[in-house]
């Protein structure tokens, strides 16, 4: 592969552990930053901080020993289910001007939580990779994100959209979960066809997506806290 050839040319061998370390450091940093700014954040970002801290614990616990395939998959199942619930709550908060859409998204997330729980217990099992759960979470996030961009067009703001904290949060989610959904779909297809997806390709591809996702969360937290500080100063 091209990536392997580049690394061979540079004189060292790729080690997935080092890629994992990059976002094992990034995710806790983003979570701690959000925690420090917690009181200044909007409701949706407070929930995002909580989800980020849970993610930091799960990712570090799973990847630090680097034997998650055999020992920590039940925790991964639990995290996928928790993520679905949290995204339902977050997008319900984001649709505060359209409560009907927000409630529908939340109720759908509850249905998905039940389906994912049943899948983990009875279909895929707790000791297999929760690809079905992740695909359900991804579908919820993708549809909710697209609806939110439509919502932004319906309720335009005078503020530049790139200064709008939810824009970064939703954009990061849409990008990452769209890529993740497509990847898992093709992975399922290749597995059914008996063709194995190259490990390095899938690992580095998804790792880049995780980094982009949490950088977008960091920008959302920063802009949210900054805008609230401005409001407080103006009120004074």
* Residues 90-127: tens digit of each pLDDT: 999 998 878 889 999 999 999 999 999 998 888 877 67
What is the rounded CA–CA span in Å between residue 76 and residue 134?
Answer: 10
What is the rounded CA–CA span in Å between residue 170 and residue 161?
Answer: 12
Of residues 54 and 6, more confidently modeled: 54
Per-residue confidence (pLDDT) for residue 202, from 0 to 100? 63
Cβ atoms 224, 42 nearer than 8 A: yes
CA nearest neighbour of 105 among 55, 159, 150: 150
Per-residue confidence (pLDDT) for residue 15, from 0 to 100? 53
What is the rounded CA–CA span in Å between residue 72 and residue 86?
Answer: 21
pLDDT of residue 2 exceeding 50, the answer is no
Per-residue confidence (pLDDT) for residue 10, from 0 to 100? 38
Compute φ and ψ for 37, nearest 5 degrees. -100, 10
């Amino acid at each position: 592969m091209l990536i392997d050839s580049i690394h061979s040319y540079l004189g060292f061998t790729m080690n997935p552990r080092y890629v994992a370390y990059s976002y094992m450091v990034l995710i806790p940093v983003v979570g701690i930053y959000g925690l420090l700014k917690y009181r200044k954040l909007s409701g949706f970002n407070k929930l995002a901080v909580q989800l980020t801290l849970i993610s930091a614990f799960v990712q570090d616990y799973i990847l630090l020993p680097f034997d998650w395939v055999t020992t920590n998959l039940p925790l991964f199942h639990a995290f996928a289910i928790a993520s679905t619930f949290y995204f339902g709550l977050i997008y319900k908060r984001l649709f505060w001007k359209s409560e009907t859409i927000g409630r529908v998204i939340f109720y759908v997330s509850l249905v998905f939580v039940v389906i994912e729980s049943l899948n983990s217990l009875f279909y895929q099992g707790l000791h297999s990779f929760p690809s079905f759960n992740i695909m359900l979470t991804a579908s919820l996030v993708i549809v909710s994100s697209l609806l939110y961009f439509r919502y932004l067009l319906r309720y335009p703001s005078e503020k530049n959209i790139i200064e709008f904290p939810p824009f970064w949060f939703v954009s990061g989610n849409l990008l990452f979960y769209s890529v993740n959904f497509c990847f898992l779909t093709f992975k399922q297809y290749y597995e059914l066809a008996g063709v194995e997806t190259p490990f390095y390709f899938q690992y580095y591809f998804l790792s880049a997506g995780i980094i982009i996702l949490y950088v977008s969360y960091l920008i959302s937290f920063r802009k949210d806290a900054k805008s609230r500080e401005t409001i407080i100063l103006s009120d004074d």
